[in-house]
Amino acid sequence: MNSSERFGGFVAHLERHLGTLRGAEGPEAEGRNRGYSIAFFERSDPGIISAASNGIRFQDVTSIMPEELVCTLRHDQENVARYLVNVVSSMVIGSGNGIEYDQIIKNDQPLIPQTEIQAILAASSPYFGTEFDLLRDGRGNPELQIITLIPITLAEAEYAEENEPEDLFEEWQGSRTNLLDVRRASAI
């Protein structure tokens, strides 16, 4: 089975969950072949945009299983979703190491100017259900893991490290935190 047959349902899987494919940025968008493209999917209700990597699974990356990355934000924050997917995808390919659920990537300063967002939590999707997180082959076997990138504050990152990421999700739920908005206040 060649790789196009192996992952043949990837874009259809993303469209089913993320919405309409609106376009893509090719792998050479920055003047060199970075090894992945970034596709953009939108849903008008509730007004969200998702940026998704497409190509990490073909790179020499050590991970539990082949993976791709997705970041979903408010429609007006498309550039931020693209930026975060691009940064983490470049990091993964550059290091040769995939990321895992519950992994926290911290920065020493805000990732997005004029926000409190200083870290990223890699997680299963809090928006699209567990069916979204794995692309399955024709026999129902998982063949690709989709990791959702959630922009978080430094206080939230430290809380998740001191406790468990599940505890942070409970805090978000209790405070009705809008994870789709990078301009939000910290829940911690």
| pLDDT-above-90 percentage for the chain | 86
- What pLDDT is attached to residue 1? 46
Which range, 15-19, 24-28, 45-49, has the best average confidence (pLDDT)?
15-19
Q: What is the mean pLDDT of residues 98-112?
A: 95
Predicted confidence (pLDDT) at residue 136 exceeds the cutoff of 80 = yes
If phi > 0 it is left, if psi is from -120 to 50 it is alpha, else beta; for residue 39 that is beta
Q: What is the mean pLDDT of residues 43-68?
A: 95
Q: What is the pTM of this model?
A: 0.94
Predicted confidence (pLDDT) at residue 141 exceeds the cutoff of 50 = yes
- What pLDDT is attached to residue 29? 86
Predicted confidence (pLDDT) at residue 170 exceeds the cutoff of 80 = yes
